């Protein structure tokens, strides 16, 4: 936190950024508008995951103009899970909302997500109408099906980054590279209550997706096997007596 002017925010928006220069100003203005309308204390926490396209300069300028904004900068690109972990650890809010920096998630969905969090530990978005190309839509559908089958899970759209969490719940899990795709399952394994709500989706207009079939399919399948193993081998016992 920087300075006495800022009280402890209730809501931290955590946004991983890797080469998203041309999306950041619009994202910031949409987020500021939505968060002002909610009225709770908030911070917008951008995690710059080693961007090389000048995103750092844009973030610095935005931060100079808005006291709600914080920027955590990673020394070098470490991946989306690492960026999110750094954001979770730095977040001051009791509630953490995650979204992508590429404007594909709609900030206007945030109030509904927060409402849905009441009485739950996490709320995860389900993109009703994906605004991605056919290859991505089909591969995501197959991936969700396989993921749910192999890990005995029911989450419809784990790839949707728009999610809201109680920070206390996030503190209970340890992230590994790639695990941002399994947050709902990891939380459920810790006994957290997770629900799903439909959210919007928008096309990516600037910058490029960081994933394609090549760098997502095999790694996320290996991660799935790890999660399946963890779920199966989770310690389950009851202490009957301890005298
Ligand atoms: N991202 C990141 N580090 C990476 C890859 C991606 O911080 O190594 C960020 C990226 O800038 C975006 C989010 O993670 O905010 C999701 O990435 P992307 O939009 O490329 O994924 P897609 O929506 O295509 O699945
Ligand atoms: Mg995206």
Alpha carbon of 172 to ligand 2 centroid (Å): 27
Which homologous superfamily does the CATH classification assign to the domain defined by 3-131+157-207? Spore Coat Polysaccharide Biosynthesis Protein SpsA; Chain A (3.90.550.10)
In whole angstroms, give the CA distance from residue 85 to residue 171. Answer: 10
What confidence score (pLDDT) does residue 2 get? 43
User: 150 burial class (0-12, 13-18, 19+ CB within 10 angstroms)?
Assistant: middle
Residue 100 CA, closest ligand 1 atom number = 15
User: 161 burial class (0-12, 13-18, 19+ CB within 10 angstroms)?
Assistant: buried
Indicate whether residue 48 lines ligand 1 (CB < 6 A). Answer: no
Q: Is the pTM of this model over 0.85?
A: yes
In whole angstroms, give the CA distance from residue 125 to residue 29. Answer: 22
Residue 216 CA, closest ligand 1 atom number = 25
In whole angstroms, give the CA distance from residue 95 to residue 237. Answer: 31
By the CB criterion, residues less than 5 angstroms from ion ligand 2 are: 100, 102, 104
The residue contributing the CA closest to ligand 1 atom 22 is 209
- Phi, psi for 182 (deg, rounded to 5): -120, 15
The CA-atom distances, in angstroms, between 233 and each of 79, 219, 222, 236, 238 are 27, 21, 17, 8, 15
What confidence score (pLDDT) does residue 3 get? 40
Name which of 75, 43, 42 is nearest 56 in CA terms.
75
The chain-wide mean pLDDT, for the chain, equals 95
What confidence score (pLDDT) does residue 7 get? 60
Q: Which residue has the higher pLDDT, 9 or 59?
A: 59
Domain positions in the chain are 3-131+157-207
């Amino acid at each position: 936190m920087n300075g006495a002017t800022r009280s402890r925010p209730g809501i931290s928006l955590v946004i991983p950024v890797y080469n998203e220069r041309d999306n950041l100003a619009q994202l910031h203005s949409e987020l500021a508008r939505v968060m002002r309308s909610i009225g709770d204390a908030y911070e917008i926490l951008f995690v710059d995951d080693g961007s090389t396209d000048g995103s750092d300069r844009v973030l610095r300028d935005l931060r100079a103009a808005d006291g709600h904004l914080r920027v955590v900068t990673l020394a070098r690109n470490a991946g989306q899970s690492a960026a999110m972990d750094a954001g979770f650890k730095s977040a001051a809010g009791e509630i953490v909302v995650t979204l992508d920096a590429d404007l594909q998630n709609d900030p206007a969905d945030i109030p509904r997500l927060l409402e849905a969090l009441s009485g739950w530990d996490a709320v995860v978005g389900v993109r009703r109408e994906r605004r991605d190309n056919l290859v991505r839509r089909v591969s995501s559908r197959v991936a969700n099906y396989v993921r749910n089958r192999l890990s005995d899970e029911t989450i419809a759209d784990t790839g949707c980054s728009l999610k809201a969490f109680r920070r206390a719940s996030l503190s209970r899990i340890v992230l590994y590279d790639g695990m941002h795709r399994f947050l709902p399952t990891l939380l459920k394994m810790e006994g957290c209550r997770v629900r799903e709500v439909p959210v919007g989706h928008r096309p990516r207009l600037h910058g490029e997706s960081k994933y394609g079939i090549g760098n997502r399919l095999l790694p996320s399948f290996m991660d799935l096997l790890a999660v399946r193993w963890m779920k199966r081998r989770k310690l389950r016992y009851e202490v009957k007596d301890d005298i």
